[in-house]
Chain A
Amino acid sequence: MKICLVCSHGGHLTELQHLREAFDGHETFFITYDSARTRSLERRYLLRNIGKNPLLMAYAFFIIFSILLREKPKIIVSTGAEIAIPAFCLAKLLGIKTVFIESWTRVDQPTGTGRIVYPVSDVFLVQWEEMLSKYGKRARYEGAIV
């Protein structure tokens, strides 16, 4: 099954790499930000870092839409950050299943991205039990990367 892995290029990528074993036996590709580090990933689409730039966010919606149409993944898995927002909104539109994993570094405060993608995620995981009450009933705690 084809799985799309979405994350920014620093710690969020490190978190996803710690979970790679979960994707063994499946075809995967990354949508992430361009950097020396991500250029060495095997199958990847590299975008400019969106940050807080609304124009780059609009551009990311457009690019990610075309990637998803071309690749037709069955599932999108993301550890954040904001690059997950266009991917998860478009996944809802295209009927792609989504799994969001809130960062291990978040022990008591939700991320802005988590708040936005929570309503559109099929599975929403947090890495600390204390975080469950910060989201809604659909948030689940099933362990952490460390």
Chain B
Amino acid sequence: MIFVTVGMHTQSFDRLLKKMDEISGRIAEEVTMQVGRTAFRPQHAKWFDFATEAEIKEFCRKARVVVTHPAMSVVDALDQGTPVIVVPRQKRYNEVIDDHQVAFAGVLEKEGKVVAVYDVDGLERTLKRSDLKTGGAGRDKRLVNALKRYIAEFERR
């Protein structure tokens, strides 16, 4: 199963969902989409608008691959040990307020956590790749420890 998720974002991400629905019409593998606030309604893929965190994690766990925008949903997928393909939302398509996701996709790909696809026409080929693997999220404890330290400092004052 391919799980596509576009989060809570208020802007539409038709470009990704239309392409994934089109692909879904051509392939045997099941495609399930969380469409959020995107106006487009898939014809071939299964879809729903929102779900609980536990349900989203379960879809991420069951999927062969997760297709999403480079945002926190990436961590949900990596935590479940599932390979991730990211498609950055872009300002020129009115999918997001600026192009930070393009930069973020590049960094995630360089770290080996995801495969980035910028032009949705490349999605079908990427989905068929046999070398898709998960980067794993890992956890950096430094930020939690720093927060604890600041909270303790404020407490002493």
Contacts and interface: CB of A to CB of B under 8 A. Distances in A.
Interface in A103-127: 104-109, 112, 122-123, 125, 127
Contact of B8 (A9, A40, A128): A9
Chain B interface size range:
35 or more
Given A75-B151, A97-B154, A142-B146, A105 B8 contact: no
B127 interface: no
A44 interface: no
Contact of B143 (A11, A35, A144): A144
A11 B8 contact: yes
**Contact residues of A: prevailing secondary structure:** loop
**Contact residues of B: prevailing secondary structure:** helix
Contacts of A137: none
A8 B8 CA distance: 10
Interface residues of A, number: 44
Contacts of B9: 10
Contacts of A74: 154-155
Interface of A: 1, 3, 8-12, 14-15, 18-19, 21-23, 26, 35-37, 40, 49, 51, 74-75, 77, 97, 99, 101, 104-109, 112, 122-123, 125, 127-128, 142-146
Interface of B: 7-10, 50, 52-53, 70-73, 75-76, 78, 97-101, 103-104, 107, 137-148, 150-151, 154-155
